[in-house]
Amino acid sequence: MKNLKSKTHYNEAVKQAYYKTLERAKAMLSTIEQEEIRYTLIRQDKLATSAYILHEFLNPLLYLRLECSSDNTLFIHFGVEQVQGKNRLNEITSKFIRLLYHYTSKAVTGVEVEDAVRTDWLLNSCSDAYEYVEERNNHHTFKQLPYKVTANKRKQLLSVA
């Protein structure tokens, strides 16, 4: 009984970390003016087979996936587009990785779930993966994140006006 209770607690902490990371990732992406960078493909499976994908977020810049293993343990896969140079997109990909590890840290979750972030495979070309899935889409729903002007951008626009 104790093992089941601790697995439930573990899985809940992993799920919360995943959705907090996802929320912040969407917020960061929504600050990009370029429409194509705000395109997303979302997969949400409701079938509880032995091993399945609970949720998947795919974007030309970021990738995040919450999975359930055959022993009912949740884990997270992730990826980022390789971005050359120091620019806004590089800042977002770097911050995304830091956020994922922050939200899965024991200091935040109160539970040891850092091992839920899996690196047995990493996606390092999100744009290629996005195009591939978009062309063969069987499980994903398209959604464009709305553009939200940042405070700095708003000040720049007002100073010009």
pLDDT digits (tens, 9 = 90+) for 110-144: 999 999 999 998 899 999 999 999 999 888 999 99
pTM over 0.95: no
Task: Work out the angle at residue 116's Cα, subtended by the Cα atoms of residues 24 and 99, and round it to the nearest 5 degrees.
Answer: 25
Mean pLDDT of 22-29: 98
Widest distance between CA atoms in the chain: 65
Average pLDDT value for the chain: 90
Question: CA-to-CA distance for 31 and 46, rounded, in angstroms?
Answer: 31
What range defines the domain where residue 52 resides?
2-160
pLDDT band at 2 (very low <50, low <70, confident <90, very high): very low
**Mean pLDDT along residues 83-104:** 95
Predicted pLDDT at 102:
97
Please give the Cα distance from 109 to 156 (Å, whole number).
38
Q: Where are the alpha helices (DSSP H) in 60-160?
A: 88-103, 106-109, 126-135, 151-160
Per-residue pLDDT, 50: 66
Question: Is the pLDDT reported for residue 22 higher than 50?
Answer: yes
Q: What percent of the chain shows pLDDT beyond 70?
A: 88
Average pLDDT over residues 133-159: 80
Question: What's the rounded mean pLDDT across residues 22-37?
Answer: 96
pLDDT value at residue 1: 36
Number of structural domains the chain divides into: 1
